[in-house]
Structure 1
């Protein structure tokens, strides 16, 4: 592990995004939800206890909680149902991989890189890639 996972701990607020709308559409988010997601505050709280990481994501009034261990596949709750995912370290990034997002084989990968108090995400769904930046609150 290149650095202490505890460095991810804290609350992160979405500060900017590029191609986010197209990414949300690609993963099958209904258009009315896409529009809403772009207009409300999105935050993630990250905590760690022993080897269990918990992400609590809040978008407007919607909240989702995921607890996991690195390298173990589990089902994560998303709009549209549960998705199988595995989190792992890859070089200096925390990567989550969904091998079959929608039952048609759509692969989704989210790569998180920590740069001080900025968390940069590169999210890819098939041929669509978006970039999201969050700042520590």
Structure 2
């Protein structure tokens, strides 16, 4: 059974696959998508009280945070607005799903040894990011 301990720590970006198509499916403007494809973010996952925190930093002056409790609906702020998610641990995977009508974005993160793989799917299009333990 996975726990925060499996995911905790700092992760450095290795590579991504199919990000351009995913960003298009997400409706991200082309110029912003180009910047995002070129980014090499770090990811830090830690526990803060009873919350899980995912801190992604591509620009050190503007880190992106997702802070949530497993099994509870949570509102997060993205660079494109607010969205509601619910997170769960299922079969060793950390899964976040949109909860609003029409929000079919799903992120599945799992750790295999010293590698974290994040698969994000929107409208049937999947992009994958690979991170290694920093």
Mark yes or no: TM-score above 0.5: yes
What are the superposed Cα offsets for residues 28-62 of structure 1, whole Å, 9 maximum, x if unpaired? 22111111112122111111134211111112353
Aligned to 1:27: 26
What root-mean-square deviation, in Å, do the aligned CA atoms of Structure 1 and Structure 2 show? Answer: 1.6
Moved more, 109-118 or 41-50: 41-50
Aligned to 1:90: 90
1: CA distance between counterparts of 2:56 and 2:126?
21
Q: Aligned ranges for residues 1-137 of structure 1 at < 5 Å?
A: 2-61=1-60, 62-100=62-100, 105-137=102-134
Deviation at 1:91, TM superposition (A): 1.6
Deviation at 1:98, TM superposition (A): 0.9
Output the TM-score relative to the length of structure 1.
0.88
2: CA distance between counterparts of 1:28 and 1:109?
15
Q: Which runs of 5+ in 2 are unaligned?
A: none
What are the superposed Cα offsets for residues 92-129 of structure 1, whole Å, 9 maximum, x if unpaired? 211000144xx6x1401111111111001111101211
What are the superposed Cα offsets for residues 11-39 of structure 1, whole Å, 9 maximum, x if unpaired? 11221111111111211221111111121
**Alpha-carbon distance change, 22 to 69 in structure 1, aligned in 2, over 3 angstroms:** same
1: CA distance between counterparts of 2:40 and 2:57?
8
2: CA distance between counterparts of 1:106 and 1:49?
27
The alignment partner of 1:72 has SS state of coil
